[in-house]
Chain A
Amino acid sequence: MDTPTSGSVYVAPSLPAALDALDEAGSEAAPFAGGTWIMRAPIRHEPLKSRYVAIGKIPELHAIKVDTDVVEIGAAVTHAALATALAELSEFDVLTAAAGRSANPAIRGMATIGGNLATTAFAAADCVPALLCLAAEVEIASRGGRERIDLEQFLTMRSTLAPGWLLQRIIVPRRGRKTAHARLPLRQAGDYPTAIVSLAVSLDDAGHVQSARVSVGSVEPVARRWERLEDALVGHKLNATKAADAAAGLAGEFTGRDSADVPAWYRVRVLPGLVRRAAAALGS
């Protein structure tokens, strides 16, 4: 029976207590948020850490702060809580959809935004491309201090982050963009997406794209921006068919990841269709 055993769990009452515990235990410990990835370690034939620092009871990590220029999201905010909190803010439709349609209702009530960003091996995380297209930053903390960095940079360094660091919060600028999230799960719901396209654009009064950010998740091991497609969209009226045509011409720059359920080529093949859906969702 593949069940986790022998890990101790320290339920941290505060952020300083969590950082102290992570610092003192070093590489023997890891943060534990929703647990939806860690608890499946035996199925992946991965060893558990000997010590986990549970961060789910720390109040500040559950906070969502909506200001006029930014939204700040604590790392232990669940997908369900995030989708509810942002539901009325249309500029965050991409993130509401990412958080509100991933997995299934019970998982959305457990899985956290911080876990989604910090789990290096989880290529199909919905919130990663959504936050990339929103130009999010993250704040990481250790007993020695804090750092604020671009999400793109965090994704390149997260697997080598020294023990003792904790993703504390996500900062998302408010720029009045129109945004959309298109995902293709193998089943209609409750499944991992084969591929994800997240789109954020700002339009001028004539409907021309002034700026665009497009990000792609689940196709390659790590989500990333599609900068050549962004360039192709800027200066033109947003048109779903033309955006899909441009995507078809540029999709060759992706190298799909192979898996038992989805072949690599398929993840790339569906990208233009997802670009079309995302652009169409913005009324184009």
Chain B
Amino acid sequence: MGLSLTVNGDHLTSTADPITPLIDILREEFHLTGAKPVCREGFCGACMVLIDGKPTPSCLMPAALAEACDIRTVEGLAVNGGLNPIQVALEACDAVQCGMCFPGMVVSLTHLVTTRPEATRDDIRAALTGNICRCTGYERIIEAALLALATT
């Protein structure tokens, strides 16, 4: 019996082994390549997705345990074809980076902006603890998160 997964509102099936990390099914079967398998240890955050609204490293999530959950990848964060508030702010602040770590940051910050409208700069930094960037810095990303919080 295959796995039944709900990804970005779509009901999809997979015949992968139940223990297969969700990241591999998302990328290799469903061709949702925004999440990246980088460290495969839950440290880097490049594979972050929302599972029932919670940021979750999809490298550590067996597909079998994601059944009956709402899985949302970076491809599914836009609302009705429009960017969500953090996506708008990241673009406005010219904070978009190379694309390896960045989708995971968008996922983590979408959760933060949605659930903690009172978040401070320190809260933003703490929320990004599990999203590692090796290219540049975090400051413009943090500024974008503050902008998104101020405008939502």
CA–CA, A6 and B19, complex, Å: 7
Binary interface profile of A, 108-127, with partner B (CB < 8 Å = 1, else 0)? 01100000000000000000
**Of all chain B residues, which has the CB nearest A57?**
B65
B60 near A39: Cβ-Cβ < 8 Å = yes
Answer whether residue B103 sits at the interface, using C-beta atoms and an 8 A cutoff.
no
Given contacts A3-B40, A39-B60, A43-B40, contact A106 B45 (CB under 8 A): yes
- Beta-carbon contacts under 8 Å, A57-116 to B: 103-107, 109-110
**Is A226 close to B, CB under 8 A?**
no
Partner of A35, one of B37, B60, B129, B130: B60
- A189 pairs with B126, CB closer than 8 A: yes
Q: Does any Cβ of B come within 8 Å of A40's Cβ?
A: yes
Any chain B CB within 8 A of the CB of A2?
yes
The listed residue (B48, B54, B65) touching A11 by CB distance below 8 A is B65
Q: How far is the CA of A7 from the CA of B132 in the complex (A)?
A: 30
Determine chain A's interface SS by DSSP, over half rule.
loop
Please name all residues of chain B whose beta carbon is closer than 8 Å to the beta carbon of A1 when the two chains form the complex: 24, 37
A7 to B19, CA, bound (A): 5
**A213 and B56 alpha carbons, distance in the complex (Å):** 36
A189 to chain B, nearest CB (A): 5
**Is there an interface contact between A106 and B130, defined as CB atoms closer than 8 Å?**
yes
Chain B interface, number of residues (Cβ within 8 angstroms): 29
A278 to B43, CA, bound (A): 27
Q: B56: nearest residue on chain A (CB-CB)?
A: A106
Closest to A192 in B: B43
- A-contact bits for B59-74, CB 8 A (1 contact / 0 none): 1111011000000000
Q: Which residues of A contact B127 (CB under 8 A)?
A: 105
A239 CB-CB contact with B under 8 Å = no
* Cβ of B21 under 8 Å from chain A: yes
Knowing A107-B130, A110-B60 touch, does A36 contact B42 (C-beta < 8 A)?
yes
Q: Which stretch in A48-56, A136-144, A147-155, A169-177 binds the other chain? A: A48-56
The CB with the most chain A CB atoms within 10 A, among B37, B42, B61, is that of B42
**Contact B41–A43 (Cβ < 8 Å):** yes
Query: Does B85 touch A at the CB level, under 8 Å?
Result: no
- B18 interface residue, CB < 8 Å from A? yes
| C-alpha gap A2/B62 in the complex (Å) | 14
* Inter-chain contact A39/B64, CB cutoff 8 Å: no
* B17: interface (CB < 8 Å): yes
Measured between beta carbons, the chain A residues less than 8 angstroms from B108 are 105-106
Whether, in the assembled complex, B34 has its beta carbon less than 8 Å from a beta carbon of chain A, the answer is: no
Q: Does the CB pair A4–B19 fall under 8 Å?
A: yes
Distance in angstroms between the alpha carbons of A9 and B42 in the assembled complex: 20
B residues less than 8 Å from A4 (CB atoms):
17, 19-21, 62
Interfacial chain B residues near A110, Cβ < 8 Å: 42, 56-57, 60-61
Measured between C-beta atoms, what is the minimum distance from A261 to chain B in Å? 12
Q: Supply 15 A–B pairs (Cβ within 8 Å), ascending by A.
A: A3-B21, A3-B24, A4-B19, A5-B17, A6-B17, A8-B17, A35-B61, A39-B62, A40-B42, A43-B41, A104-B130, A105-B55, A107-B130, A189-B129, A190-B132
Cβ-closest 8 pairs across A and B: A104-B130, A7-B19, A9-B64, A9-B18, A104-B129, A190-B129, A39-B60, A189-B129
